Structure formats: C-alpha cells, structure tokens
Amino acid sequence: MVKPNEQSNRIRVRDKFFRLYLNREKIDEIVSAIAGRVTRDYTGKDPILLGILNGAFIFASDLVRKLNIPCEISFVKYSSYHGMESNGKISRLIGLNETLRGRDVIIVEDIVDTGHTMAKLLDDLKQCEPASIRIACFCFKKQAFRENFTIDYCGLEIPNLFIVGYGLDYDGAGRNFPDIYQLDTPNG
C-alpha cells in the first residue's frame, strides 16, 4: 500500500488504480504563477478569497500563503459530484454568511468540469452585491464545460480525465495525496 506522502507512479484509491499525472513540484509552480498574477492584479486592494469545499481546501491554503497582499479567506460548500460523474443537481450545504457587499471576491476552486457548481455559486453571489468577482481554478476540463462564465486565473487546462489528489477525491478518498493522479485504464 502506497502512503500518500511517498511519490509513486501508481496508486490505488478504493477499487480503482490511478497513475501519476502531475507531481507536487509542477503543482507548486502552477500555484506560484497564479499567486503572482493575483498579487499583481490586487495590489492596493483587500480581496476576500472564497474557496469551494471540499475539493479546494488544499489549493486555497497554498494559494493564500503565496499572496503578497492583505486578504481574507472564507469557504462555501456545494455538492453535485457522486463517484465519478457530476449529477447536474447542485445544492448549497454551507455558505455565504460573510459580508460580501462591496468586496472584491476571488472564488477559489480545485477544478471546473461542467461548470454547473460555479454557475450556481456565481448566481448566489450576485445577490450579495460584491464589488467584483473573479475566478481562480487550479484546473479546467474545457471539453466538459457547459456554462459560459470566464475563468480569470486558470492553472492548467486538462483533457476529460478523472483525477485525484491535491484535494480532489474519488468517493471521498484520495484527497491527501500531494501529487495528482489520473484514472488508469487497462489500455493505458
């Protein structure tokens, strides 16, 4: 059994095998690049980062520690994913209890897939009348995207793969791997 902190080429999460897709060094470079852009764009401002639980908790904590500006961080929780497919029904489980009116909000998400979760949050957020809203996501499955909002800070565009690690889960498991793995099919 591979321990999450060992860098390995192949891991097992529940009943599935996954192979290494993106190592922790590359992940760190991507987060640093996003943090640099956010720092430049928000110098002189005091934004509030809004992470989407559960998946974004690791990316949000890495990103916030690389920002060189004053900021706040809060989280919302939505749910839509079951197993390996988004079921399209999005419900907010915890959420927008901060005073967001007049604030510069940066939504922080681990991955945008169909975009339905983000679209629902954007809708809810507008009711709170923030001064501005931007989106930072670690990765983006462009081919699966079904909405039409703009992603302001996108770490990495990926094909339609199923990935785990760095906060991303398969049925609740695998979030604690520091590297990102893709589902390993028998044919590669």
Distance CA 106, CA 165 (A): 23
Catalytic residue among 113, 169, 171, 184: 113
Residue located via tokens 């943090």: 35
Specify whether 169 is catalytic.
no
Which lies closer to Mg ion via its Cβ, residue 35 or residue 52?
52
Per-residue x/- marks for Mg ion, 5-44, CB under 5 A? Answer: ----------------------------------------
Binding of ligand IMP by 163 (CB under 6 A): yes
Residue 115, interface with Mg ion (CB under 5 A)? no
- Site residues (CB under 6 A) for ligand IMP, limited to 64-103: 80-81, 86
Beta carbon nearer to ligand IMP, 42 or 135: 135
State yes or no: residue 55 binds Mg ion (CB under 5 A): yes
Task: Name the nearest CA neighbour of 151 among 115, 120, 179, 187.
Answer: 115
Amino acid code (one letter) for 9: N
Size of the site for ligand IMP (CB under 6 A): 19
What ranges make up the beta strands (E) of 4-152? 10-13, 16-22, 48-53, 72-82, 85-94, 104-112, 132-140
Give me the active site residues, please.
113
